[in-house]
């Protein structure tokens, strides 16, 4: 049995057609069911439905053999027990700093609100900028509006969320897309089925990329 960890929402919606092309079709719709383990039409593959930020944990500890996770989550997780063999090219966006346009650089230490604490600390340290990083769990865009922070580190796609809150994108930290991740022990123990699935997905992703060119 192969167990694949996927988060509900955006990644699930974008991963579903990819998985379906690889013959993996869940027999239950997670939006209509409270089930967290979803059987699929392949009796050797099941999905587990978890929070996006938990995918690397399930895969690193071997509770799932494979997972689909955003690069933002993987970089923040800083784990070492994972292989990352394939960029799936889905859920694309950018991890950026953002803040009120034209605000002068803070005279005190920069205060940054984000759920990406490790990534933000590394980014500002590399720049030689003294930053106090405040951990939030969502709605980061609010923080500069109410004086909690000078700027934020968050995902930007269309820029609509920033614009709606009077904020402007500043610096690009990294381009983001979702990756296939694999548990290192599972890669040895279930080498055949895992490489077959990863290879199948890789062919689907490159065919898609060729169509987009």
Beta bridge partners of 179: 69, 87
What are the start-end ranges of the E strands in the chain?
2-7, 37-39, 45-50, 66-70, 82-87, 93-99, 110-114, 131-135, 151-156, 168-176, 178-183
The verdict on 154 binding ligand PRP (CB under 6 A) reads: yes
Q: Which C-beta is closer to ligand PRP: that of 148 or that of 202? A: 148
On whether the CB atoms of residues 164 and 142 are closer than 8 A, the answer is no
Q: How far is the CB of 185 from ligand ATP (least distance, A)?
A: 25
Q: Residue 114: name the closest of 166, 75, 154, 147 by CA.
A: 154
Cβ neighbours of residue 181 closer than 8 Å, sequence gap 6 or more: 55, 56, 59, 66, 67, 68, 69, 74, 82, 83, 84
Beta bridge partners of 152: 98, 113
Per CB under 6 A, contacts with ligand ATP among 91-150 are 91-93
Q: How far is the CB of 110 from ligand ATP (least distance, A)?
A: 24
The verdict on 54 binding ligand PRP (CB under 6 A) reads: no
The CB-nearest residue to ligand ATP is 70
Q: Which C-beta is closer to ligand ATP: that of 5 or that of 110? A: 5
Q: How far is the CB of 171 from ligand PRP (least distance, A)?
A: 15
Site string for ligand ATP, 34-73 (x = CB under 6 A): -----------------xx-----------------x-xx
Q: Which C-beta is closer to ligand PRP: that of 65 or that of 141? A: 141
Q: Which C-beta is closer to ligand PRP: that of 89 or that of 159? A: 159
Task: Write out the residues near ligand PRP by the rule CB under 6 A.
Answer: 138, 154-161
């Amino acid at each position: 049995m192969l167990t694949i960890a996927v988060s509900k929402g955006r990644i699930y919606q974008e991963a579903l057609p990819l998985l379906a092309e690889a013959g993996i079709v869940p027999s239950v719709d997670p939006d209509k069911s409270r089930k967290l383990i979803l059987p699929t039409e392949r009796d050797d593959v099941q999905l587990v439905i978890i929070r996006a930020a938990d995918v690397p944990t399930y895969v690193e500890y071997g509770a799932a053999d494979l997972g689909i996770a955003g690069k933002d989550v993987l970089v923040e997780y800083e784990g070492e027990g994972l292989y990352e063999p394939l960029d799936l090219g889905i859920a694309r966006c950018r991890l950026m700093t953002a803040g009120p346009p034209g605000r002068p650089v803070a005279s005190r230490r920069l205060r940054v609100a984000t759920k990406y604490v490790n990534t933000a600390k590394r980014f500002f340290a590399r720049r030689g900028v003294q930053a106090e990083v405040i951990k939030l769990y969502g709605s980061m865009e609010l923080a500069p509006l109410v004086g909690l922070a000078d700027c934020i580190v968050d995902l930007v796609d269309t820029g609509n969320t920033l614009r709606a809150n009077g904020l402007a994108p500043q610096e690009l930290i990294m381009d983001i897309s979702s990756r296939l991740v694999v548990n290192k022990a599972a890669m040895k123990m279930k080498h055949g089925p895992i490489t077959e699935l990863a290879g199948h997905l890789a062919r689907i992703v490159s065919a898609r990329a060729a169509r987009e060119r």
